[in-house]
Amino acid sequence: MFRKIQLKNFRNHKEKTLINDSKILLIQGDNSSGKTSIIEAINICLTKKSFRTNNIKQVVNKEEKESYIIFNFESNGIQNVLKCNIADKTELLLNERKVTALEVKQLLKPIVMQHRTIVEFKYNKKTRISFIDKSISNYFLIYEKIIKDFERIYKIFYENRESQDLLLKETTANKLRELEREIVKLRLEFVDKINSFLPNKTQEVLGFGVYLKYKQTKTQEQGIDSILKSFETIKKDDFIFVVEGDDIFEFKSQGENRMTMIMFIETLIEIDNEKDTTPKILLLDDIFSDLDNNNIEKILKILKNNEATTIVTLPKEIAIPDELNDSIEIAKIGE
């Protein structure tokens, strides 16, 4: 469980401390008050990566020489203090011992969902592929390596496409086909696993079952052109949510689309828990937009019952049902 976070010269927070004793923490504040920065800081502390920039140094307040995050959390009954120094060289200290992000991930695993991701998931195919591929990599640890191997070997094949070395071309082509089959196999297995949970979850909260569908792109090219196109087709494959075969983003409301994405995240946690008992922390940035009070209440009840500690940012106050008061804490910032 998340206990406390302290920020020093992190984005617009010169100094900020939040304390939490509940399963769900709601961070409330106006736009530009620094709500997203707090969950970004937690993610950086746990992974040494930001979901807003590739250059972590950009989070440091200008002209400041000292910047850090201190994150107190409980994992498997043990209290931990994790410090991430940023200003000079990014490093992690767990209980005053220098550690790697991988070591931290074995104690607490963050799962992030941003408002922007939910919006772009509908319109941006690249966002969908990136998000699903990352989810597959979390479930099948070998998946990321296979993708990188495919890219590396494809580059070799492409650079030697005019070569007279037939053995090299045949060897790399065969390896590409083997890796492509493995990528497709893992994608299909992941989709099957998601669909063993997602339809029931969406049926319960939406009244209809939603399935994840993997749309494979087929090339019409022959011979060497078919191999050259193989990497492009892997990149052009798509994932969509469907109800009775129809894309939900085409005929369902914004609120229903958002609820589906939240149920997808809930499903990811559930299938991950089957393989990995590491405690999770769910970081949700402005996910209640387009949801009415009834659906917000449904989501809060679901978050209360899952095994992850949850932090949610929101721009305005929401009504908290009496039955959830003991599970929810509200932190107002920017006042």
Q: How far apart are CA 95 and CA 312, in angstroms?
A: 26
| Beta strands in 20-128, from DSSP E residues, in sequence order | 24-28, 68-75, 78-85, 91-94, 97-99, 109-114
DSSP-assigned states of every residue in 287-302: TTTT--HHHHHHHHHH
pLDDT of residue 223: 53
Neighbouring CB atoms inside 10 A of 327's CB total: 16
Instruction: Enumerate the β-bridge partners of residue 6.
Output: 17, 70
Q: How far apart are CA 121 and CA 102, in angstroms?
A: 28
Q: What is the mean pLDDT of the chain?
A: 86
pLDDT-based confidence at 202, cuts 50/70/90?
A: very high
Distance between first and last Cα of the chain = 26
Supply the Cα-derived Rg of the chain in whole angstroms. 22
Per residue in 227-238, pLDDT tens? 555 556 677 789
Per residue in 54-94, pLDDT tens? 887 878 877 777 888 999 998 888 899 999 988 777 889 99
Q: Domains along the chain?
A: 2-108+281-332 (3.40.50.300), 120-251 (1.20.1050.90)
Q: How far is CA 303 from the centre of its chain?
A: 16
pTM above 0.85, yes or no: no
pLDDT-based confidence at 335, cuts 50/70/90?
A: low
Which range, 58-62, 193-197, 322-326, is most confident? 193-197
